[in-house]
Each structure stands twice: as structure tokens, then as C-alpha cells.
Amino acid sequence: MALKDLWGRLATWATTPEGEPKPPAGEPDAPTIPPPPAEEPPPLREPDAPDQVPEPEPGIGDPPDAPAPMQARGPGHLLPPVSGIPGFATPAPAEVSTDGGEIPQAFRPTMPTLPVVPGLSTDSGPAPAAEPVEEAYEVQAAEVQAAAPAAPDAPPAPQPAPAAGHAAPQGGFFSRLKAGLSRSTARLTENLTGLFRKRRLDEEALEELEETLILADLGLPAARRIVGSFRRTRFGKEVTDEEVKAALADEVAEILAPVAQPLRPDWGVKPYVVLVVGVNGTGKTTTIAKLAQNYRAEGRRVMMAAGDTFRAAAVEQLQIWGERTGSTVVAPAKEGADAAGLAHEALQRARAEGADILLIDTAGRLHNKAGLMEELRKVVRVLRKLDPEVPHAVLLVLDATTGQNAVQQCKVFREMVDVTGLIVTKLDGSAKGGVVVALAEEFGLPVHAVGVGETAADLRPFEARDYARSLLGLS
């Protein structure tokens, strides 16, 4: 196994949330963004020159009548995900409390220098200094270090570009979803199988069913609703585990159906402005990159704003994604720059350059809830000085591996900003996929998409029935 792969796995193992075993072996070694079609319209701007006001490029602002294919960039474009780099590895879940005011953050190891990536400028300078240590951060770091094998500090080996053609993960989305949810499925169905081997559905069985659903992260309200429905329709009947699974899948699909609403930007609005929020490490930046890739593949002109100005690596990460997807990135001039000012500049540029969509990244890590709330509200306030209608969408990115904590995060972020929809990431390998049902039942917010991996193809519109059947291990 290549050193970098070993690294990626160690880092993932080290930061896997409590109760989550190692990810299954056999996952792709270097998942990649799928290969772009042969040609691509020029990027709106070079990503590394955000401060200059560009001359409008020919064709900018033209409606994308026919989808403009992505530019062939050679193997350098088919880069392994940034997450393969230690330091970008999946962080531990961030606990959010609604009462304490503090927003403890996910653990991130000291930022490494970025590896040499063929085909890209890698002049990223020295590794940024470690982020300031807060108490919660220290605790998490200590826990992770105790649990993990020693992680060397050496920068990762240069990553070879994957061979052309090695891009899209194998199998359809449904099979990837099903495979990704296999641990959630196991958690839910193992108990069911024990419970309902030809058994009368009495009060005791219903209680055990409720417990099983709660343990599978569906949350108390959804568990009660489902059990209530079972009581009404099947009480006293003999049922098998297969019947229970099928009936459960229907109940779950019924809860999920109203929230399964794909993100449908209004392309008549230019630019359609999307603010992306969430605790650090949930996958905001990666999700923005995936959205960018998908919209670019549709021929849209995409601009991204690197609003996580406190984390130099996040800005760098977005710049790399900008290169990969052929999208413009508006980056802060210096670390810690005012995020609202950056968002303002990005919206002005997006208008001037005829972008179809502006995706604004935000920091998830600030000293406390009040600080984060102030920053997010300021971003919105400043954007609205330019256009009272923006942002058109506020997406909250939640990490499924955090289970019920994602529900807490949703509560907290809804107090801060007007969240219009959710994206749930890292459903691959999480045993807590049931949390999507809890989110649907408790908030009724649209779930626009789910992420089951690190490639653009791994972010897909959320389908209620597919999800419910995958969760129950049914085809």
C-alpha cells in the first residue's frame, strides 16, 4: 500500500467518531473527480488572482444554451481528493451544545503542506501554523491521540495523478448508497431479525422496536411515529422480520418523502447565491466543490468564495477545487480577512463576470456560538446591501457520522441563519444513517442531497424511497 494511502487510512481511523469502527477495507485507494468531458469554457477568472477586477471574457454572461463541456486538463485535472492529505482527513464529530454558547470544534491535525500535485501550481508556501488550541479542541485531540497510532508529522509523499479514465466510482448511486449505508443497515436490521422471527406484535415487541429505532439514530419523534403506525395497523398480528423491514421501509419513506427536494437553483437569477454553513469538518468545502463540479458539467459558470478565511488550508483547498472544476475562486487577501467583506466582493465579481451561481463557503470554527452567529449574520447583512434577495439558499452541511449531534447542530444553526435546506455528508461508512430520518421528522427542512463519498458523483439528490430501502437493506 502506498504511503499516502496508509496515511489516509490512519488519519481516517484516528479521527473516526466514537463507536464508529474503521471504514471497510476495499474502498477505492484514490477516489477522484470523474473525468471531465473533452472541452471546457474558460474559467471566469484565474483562481489565484482574486484581487484584480478582470476584463469580462468573451462569452461571459451568455446563457449556457448547450451545456458547455469541461476542459480537458490532462491527468493533472484528475486529482485525488484533497481529503487524501493528512490534515484534510475526516475530522472527529464536532459537538454542538445549544446551551453553553461554546461551539466545540472537530479535531484537525496540524496543517501539512500540500503535496505536489501534477499539473497544478503548488507554491503554497510553508505549512500554516497550528490553529489556536481551545479547551474542547485539546480534549478531542488528546482522545484521538490516545486512540490512534502515532501519526508522523512529515509531509505526505507527492500524489501521482490517477490514470486517465480512473475517475468515476463503480456502480450506480443506489448501489453506492446501499453499500455506504451497510453499517447503518446492520445496526438497524440485526436487532429486527432477532426480534421478529415469526412473532406476535405485542406491546413488548413494539417497545423493543422503538428502542431499536432510537439506537439506530432515527430519534425519538420518528421512532414513536413509526411504532404508532405499527400499533394501529399490525397490533396482535404475527409478523416476520422481512415483513417488518418492508413495512419499516414504507414508514421511513413516508417521513422522508416531503423533505426529498433537490436543490433547484433559479437560473433566471444571475448569480444564484448559495451560502454554505456548518460546523467545521462536516464537508462544506468538499460539498461546494462537488456542486461546482456538477454545475460546471451542466455548462454553468460557477464562482466560489473562500469565506472560511481563518483557515488558510480551507482557502487553499477551495483554490485547488477551483482549478479542478474550472471555477473561479474569490479568496481572501490574507488569513483572517473579514468574511463579510469577501462575500461582498465575491457577489460584485460574480455579477460583473456573469456567473450563474455563487457558492459561498463559511467558517464553522469560531470561538463561540455568539461569534459564529455574528459572523454569519454579518455576511448575510452585507450581501443584502447589494441585493436584498440574497442569499437565495442557505445550505447547512451535516456530517452523518455525528448521529444525533447533527440534530443539535441543525437546531443551533437555525437560530443563527435562515437555513433553507440540508446536505448530509459521509453516509458512506457511517452507522448513523438513521439520523436523516430524525432530521426530516424534527425539522421538515428540505434535504437536497446526500454525500456517500468524496467524488462529485458521490453527491446526489436525496431520494426518499431509495434511501429508506437502502437503510433497511432492501433492493
Ligand X SMILES: Nc1nc2c(ncn2[C@@H]2O[C@H](COP(=O)(O)OP(=O)(O)OP(=O)(O)O)[C@@H](O)[C@H]2O)c(=O)[nH]1
> With contact defined as beta carbons under 8 Å apart, do 79 and 32 qualify?
yes
Q: Does 284 bind ligand X (CB under 6 A)?
A: yes
> Does 361 appear as a known binding residue?
yes
Q: Rounded to 5 degrees, what angle do the CA atoms 372, 373, 379 make?
A: 90
Q: To the nearest whole angstrom, how small is the minimum distance from the Cβ of residue 232 to ligand X?
A: 37
Cell of 15: 479521527
Candidates 95, 210, 308, 353; binder of ligand X (CB under 6 A) is 308
- Report the 10 Å Cβ neighbour count for 7: 22
CA nearest 471: which of 238, 131, 174, 265?
174
Consult the annotation and say whether 284 binds a ligand.
yes
Q: Was 363 annotated as part of a binding site?
A: yes
The answer to whether 346 and 330 are in contact (CB under 8 A) is yes
CA distance 455 to 445: 25
Q: State which of residues 87, 156, 283, 446 lies at the interface with ligand X (CB under 6 A).
A: 283
Q: Are 453 and 460 in contact (CB under 8 A)?
A: no
8 binds ligand X (CB under 6 A): no
CB of 428 or CB of 463, closer to ligand X = 428
Q: Quick count: other Cβ atoms within 10 Å of Cβ 109? A: 20
Work out whether 296 is an interface residue with ligand X (CB under 6 A).
Answer: no
Spatial distance between the Cα atoms of 137 and 91, rounded to a whole number of angstroms: 11
User: Rounded to an integer, what distance in angstroms lies between the CA atom of residue 140 and that of residue 138?
Assistant: 5
Among 278, 326, 332, 434, binds ligand X (CB under 6 A): 278
209 vs 194: CA distance, rounded Å: 11
For CA atoms 452, 454, 458, 464, the dihedral sign is positive
Question: Which conformational region is residue 256 in: left (phi greater than 0), alpha (psi within -120 to 50 degrees), or beta?
Answer: alpha
Segment contacting ligand X by CB under 6 A, of 72-80, 238-246, 404-412, 449-457: 449-457
Q: Per-residue string for binding with ligand X, 65-104, x by CB under 6 A?
A: ----------------x-x----xxx--------------
3-state secondary structure of 250: helix
DSSP 166: -
32: contact with ligand X by CB under 6 A:
no
Rounded CA gap, 89 and 102, in Å? 24
Q: Please give the backbone phi and psi of residue 360, each rounded to the nearest 5 degrees, phi first.
A: -105, 115
Instruction: Calculate the alpha carbon distances from 214 to 89, 225, 227, 249, 315 in Å.
Output: 29, 12, 11, 15, 38
311 binds ligand X (CB under 6 A): yes
Interacting stretch for ligand X, rule CB under 6 A, among 266-274, 281-289, 347-355, 387-395?
281-289
Q: Any known ligand binding at 285?
A: yes
165 is in an annotated binding site: no
332 counts as binding ligand X under rule CB under 6 A: no
Query: In degrees, to the nearest 5, what angle opens at C-alpha 279 toward C-alphas 278 and 281?
Result: 105
Stretch that binds ligand X, among 152-160, 216-224, 241-249, 445-453 (CB under 6 A): 445-453
Q: Find the part of the chain contacting ligand X (CB under 6 A) among 64-72, 276-284, 345-353, 461-469.
A: 276-284
Say whether 273 sits in a helix, a strand or coil. Answer: strand
What residue has cell string 421511513?
A: 252
From residue 145 to residue 164, the character string flagging contacts with ligand X as x (rule: CB under 6 A) and all else as - is: --------------------
Residue 283 is assigned to a ligand binding site: yes
- Is 427 annotated to bind ligand? yes
Examine residue 364 and tell whether it contacts ligand X (CB under 6 A): yes
- Least separation in angstroms between residue 367's CB and ligand X is 15
In the complex, the smallest distance separating the C-beta of residue 279 from ligand X, rounded to whole angstroms, is: 7
34 interacts with ligand X by CB under 6 A = no
CB 295 within 8 A of CB 467: no
Using CB under 6 A, which of 184, 294, 319, 425 touches ligand X? 425
Shortest separation between residue 383's beta carbon and ligand X, angstroms: 19
**Candidates 45-53, 136-144, 156-164, 273-281 — which segment interacts with ligand X by CB under 6 A?**
273-281
Is residue 286 a contact residue for ligand X (CB under 6 A)? yes
Alpha-carbon gap, residue 360 to 417, rounded angstroms: 14
Alpha carbons 103 and 92: distance in angstroms, whole number: 14
Nearest distance from C-beta of residue 222 to ligand X, angstroms = 22
Find out whether 279 is annotated in a ligand binding site: yes
Comparison of 227 and 416: residue with beta carbon closer to ligand X: 416
Name the minimum Å distance from CB 193 to ligand X: 28
CA angle 136, 142, 147 (to 5 degrees): 130
Which residue among 426, 448, 460, 469 contacts ligand X (CB under 6 A)?
426
User: Alpha-carbon Rg of the chain, whole angstroms?
Assistant: 22
- Shortest distance (Å) from residue 351 CB to ligand X: 25
Which segment (164-172, 335-343, 377-385, 447-455) binds ligand X by CB under 6 A?
Answer: 447-455
The 453-472 contact track toward ligand X, x by CB under 6 A, reads xx---x--------------
**Residue numbers belonging to the annotated binding site for GTP:** 278-285, 361-365, 425-428
Residues of this chain that bind ligand X (CB under 6 A): 81, 83, 88-90, 278, 280-286, 308, 311, 314, 364, 425-426, 428, 451-454, 458
**Residue numbers belonging to the annotated binding site:** 278-285, 361-365, 425-428
